[in-house]
Amino acid sequence: MDFARYRTLDGLAMAELVASGEVKPAELLAAARERAAAVNPKINAIVRPMDDIADRRLNEELTGPFAGVPFLLKDLGQDYAGVPTSAGCRALADRTATEHSTVVQRWLDAGLVIFGKTNTPEFGSKAITEPALWGPARNPWNPAHTPGGSSGGSAAAVAAGIVPVAGANDGGGSIRIPAACCGLFGLKAGRGVVPHGPADAEGGTGLSTHGVVSRSVRDTAAMLDLLAGADPYAPYLPAEQPPGHYLAETGRAPGRLRIGVRVTSALNPTPSPDAVAAVEDASALLAELGHEVERVEPVVDERALATDFLTYWFVKSARLVAEAREVRPGDDGFETDTLITAEMGRSTSAVAVARAVERWHGYTRALVDFHRSYDLLLTPTLAREPLRIGEIATAARERAAGTLMVRLRGGALLRRLGLVEKAVLANLGWVPYTQLSNMTGRPSMSVPLHWTAGGLPLGVQFVATLGGEGTLLRLAAQLESARPWFDRHPPEAALTTGS
């Protein structure tokens, strides 16, 4: 199959061709590999090929809704037995998984042909994908810019046409941010819908969930159908849905929705004109489609939410470093930024962490109250266009000071010097909108409706109430029909010429 035809197909369309016998899985895999060979040297999306595994897979009888479709896993939280999961960390680069993650097994059961793992920042802790281990992933629309994070490698691979859909996960925006950066559709399911096991009960105390980034809404819906559902190791029993429920939602009208709009944020009171334009354009389109759209006041204390979010992430970083040191003792296997945030985590009292996590419920109550009046919350996904590679890299002087503080166990001093506040603004200032739905466990999505004058995507985000995945998918399908994006591709010159 030549690339021109391959690019016109989403995952379900590929599977339909395989089921009819018109196309063989080997042909699809060959097309995916050929495309990867052509563009991956430029975008650095795939960091761990799994060619032998994929070749053996072709000898199996493949069944399921995505039988024969090429697929990529994220190299974080999506374990494939016998293959290392690095989590973007040098200390874990050779750590081999002993069992499949639940979602990986479900993808295999669906007939997908997994042939590699994608780039991710160390421990998935940033909204950019620039790990020291693998080097930066780059945005296919302009390789000087980030594809976002932490599912940046997966988003870059899908946007560049290597695969139609790829594995991702989201603990603070890591599906929606890369989707917005790369012109893709990204849905984060609500808490407990998709199991996280078997190694963990849930990701990030309920912050994180697995999913995909895709070019078509129906691929994401079909993926949610196969990923959702009870698992014996899960701490929650999700509501039972009939087979194909989420995919069927994409064929239904959303009805007239009442949508509240927020453009500014306490962390970024002056989002870029493009971010404002993205929401204004989306609002106008929604009104044309018959929805009621109006501006609203802040739903929660946004600065407090960001601080509580980072408090938890600092402590989680400390835990992850401690666990990784059991694999590789010493500090050489970790990035300086990770060690600094881990030190901040170690200096945080248990009482402070407990209070921060308990405050999540207050944000949930505030969002529930908002949804009594509005079906959805609309915001930009990004406060500005995707950052340039290296734009928020920690300066050498700050790295040196941070390294000294780590050696001196000076986390408390780092906090008093205001570095927590600085970290909040640097890491969340350009993506201040996405953490709310993680902390409250609500479903949300990024829809690719806007491109900047310079040709970079910048999506808009919708947040729904608990159990609102169907509402999101119905609206996404309506928007996809009204403003199609599937056939909008990055310029080939950006992918095939020098920087």
Which residues form the catalytic set?
74, 150, 174
Closest CA to 77 of 160, 191, 196, 175: 196
Q: Are 448 and 179 in contact (CB under 8 A)?
A: yes
Kindly state the DSSP code that residue 452 receives in the 8-state scheme.
-
The alpha carbons of the chain give a radius of gyration, in whole angstroms, of 21
Q: How far is CA 214 from the centre of its chain?
A: 11
Q: Are 291 and 257 in contact (CB under 8 A)?
A: yes
The CA distance from 31 to 161, in Å, is: 10
> Can you list the positions of beta strands (E) in 281-337?
292-295
Closest CA to 238 of 480, 487, 466, 39: 466
Name residue 224's amino acid.
L
Closest CA to 3 of 46, 35, 29: 35
Count of H helices and E strands in the chain? 20, 11
**Per the structure block, which two tokens stand in for 361?**
């419920």
Cα-Cα-Cα-Cα torsion 470, 472, 475, 478, nearest 10 degrees, comes to -80
Name residue 290's amino acid.
G
53: left (phi > 0), else alpha (psi -120 to 50), else beta?
alpha
Residues in CB range of 189: below 8 A, 6 or more apart: 209, 211, 224, 227, 228, 443, 469
The CA distance from 48 to 63, in Å, is: 25
Q: Are 209 and 189 in contact (CB under 8 A)?
A: yes
Q: What's the angle, vertex CA 313, arms to CA 308 and CA 314, rounded to 5?
A: 100
Residues in CB range of 462: below 8 A, 6 or more apart: 259, 376, 377, 378, 444, 445, 447, 472, 475
Write the DSSP assignment of 63-101 as a string of letters: -STTTT-EEEEETTT---TTSB--TT-GGGTT-B-SS--
